[in-house]
Structure formats: structure tokens, C-alpha cells
């Protein structure tokens, strides 16, 4: 099976699901179908074809995982996507909230030569505008172990490092609250009864919900 945009989308979705679940865990078919926006039966048909091509390992009624070949292709798709996002923000001047959908389209059509040229122009960045690590040209992908706003120490200087939700309205919300990657902040209080987290960002005190807080990853200074 030659790589196509559909194949690449399945492989990328599997890679991201495995990363969130733990790489030793099979991804349920329903979860994969939801990630790529198709019916479970459609996903199963594609996964069987991917398994025949050696890109995934499929266990009926259990789930699916990437093979080593599938992982390699998936990381290269992620590399293209994240470099394109960084290029659109840094060179084209687009908002970090608006580049995900464009990168979703462009990742399937840009040549490897163009991707490597973008990488060189950008100075070989380690992360994209959302803090997601950019795989190297040989497929290596860093997997830092970050805290989130729900798990970091209170009243301790930290830096926003990564945002795991690419929804444009969520990204604009974070930008308005001064919670973009690179911002130095402190978590002042967590209130489980109110389902909220209070953050000191610059001169501002910001209160956000725990669901939003779980998507903002940080490094301790």
C-alpha cells in the first residue's frame, strides 16, 4: 500500500492515541474511528488493509497498534505537520490559533525537499507553535514528561511549555489569558469544589476550569 492522505491520517491518529494511552496499549477501534471521523466499520476495513501492508498490528475485537514501519511513517507525517505550523507562524505571520487546519491539508502534499528547506530556514526548531515536539528527519521523537497546571507545585515559578488541544477557540482563549508557551506563570490555588485553577500570569490573576488546565503543560523553572 502506497502512502495516501487517508493512510497518513490513520497512522498519525494511531500515533497520537498511543502516545496518550501508553505505547504498549492497543487502541480500541471505536477510539480510532472517532479520531479520524468515520464509522467503526470503515475504520476496521482500513485497519485490515494497513495490517496487510505491515503498517499496523491488528487484533480483532481488541484493538490496533502501529508496527515499527507504521511508527516511522507516522512520525514523518507529524514532522511535516509541525514544521508547516511553525513556518506558517514564524515566516508567514499567521496566528498560532489558525494554522492547524492549513497544516492538516499541506502535510500531505509538500515534498521532503521543501520540508527540509523549511526546517533549515527555521533554524531546526525542536517544537512547533503549540510546544509539540518536532520529530527529526530520521524519525526520532522526544517525549518529555511534563507537569500540567493540575499537577505542578503551587506558588512555584513555572513556564508554559506545551498545549495539547489544537482547537482554535481554545488557543485564542489561552492567548487572551497570557497562557501561551514561553509564558512564566505560577499556579496559586486549585479549588476542587469549584472545578477551577487560579493562575498568576504576569500581573494578572486568571481562573480557568480544570479541563482547560489539564491541557496546559509546564516546566518547573
pLDDT of residue 20: 83
Q: Give me the residues of the chain with pLDDT under 70, please.
A: 1-3, 23-24
pLDDT of residue 143: 82
Question: Tens digits of per-residue pLDDT, 66-119?
Answer: 999 999 999 999 999 999 999 999 999 999 999 999 999 999 999 999 999 999
Contacting residues for 154 by C-beta, under 8 A, at least 6 apart: 186, 187, 188, 189, 190
pLDDT of residue 23: 66
Domains along the chain with CATH numbers: 5-66 (1.10.10.10), 147-220 (2.30.30.90)
pLDDT of residue 180: 95
pLDDT of residue 160: 97
Amino acid at each position: 500500500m502506497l502512502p495516501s492522505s487517508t493512510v497518513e491520517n490513520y497512522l498519525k491518529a494511531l500515533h497520537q492515541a498511543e502516545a496518550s494511552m501508553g505505547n504498549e496499549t492497543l487502541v480500541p477501534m471505536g477510539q480510532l474511528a472517532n479520531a479520524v471521523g468515520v464509522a467503526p466499520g470503515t475504520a476496521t476495513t482500513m485497519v485490515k488493509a494497513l495490517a496487510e501492508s505491515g503498517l499496523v498490528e491488528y487484533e480483532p475485537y481488541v484493538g490496533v497498534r502501529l508496527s515499527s514501519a507504521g511508527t516511522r511513517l507516522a512520525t514523518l507525517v507529524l514532522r511535516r505537520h509541525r514544521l508547516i505550523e511553525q513556518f506558517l507562524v514564524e515566516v508567514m505571520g499567521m496566528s498560532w490559533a489558525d494554522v492547524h487546519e492549513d497544516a492538516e491539508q499541506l502535510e500531505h502534499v509538500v515534498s521532503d525537499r521543501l520540508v527540509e528547506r523549511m526546517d533549515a530556514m527555521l533554524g531546526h526548531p525542536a517544537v512547533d507553535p503549540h510546544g509539540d515536539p518536532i520529530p527529526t528527519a530520521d524519525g526520532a521523537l522526544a517525549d518529555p514528561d511534563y507537569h500540567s497546571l493540575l499537577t505542578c507545585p503551587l506558588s512555584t515559578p513555572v513556564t508554559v511549555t506545551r498545549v495539547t488541544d489544537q482547537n482554535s477557540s481554545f488557543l485564542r482563549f489561552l492567548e487572551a489569558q497570557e497562557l501561551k508557551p514561553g509564558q512564566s506563570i505560577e499556579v496559586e490555588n486549585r479549588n476542587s469544589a469549584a472545578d477551577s485553577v487560579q493562575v498568576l500570569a504576569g500581573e494578572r490573576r486568571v481562573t480557568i476550569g480544570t479541563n482547560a488546565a489539564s491541557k496546559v503543560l509546564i516546566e518547573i523553572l
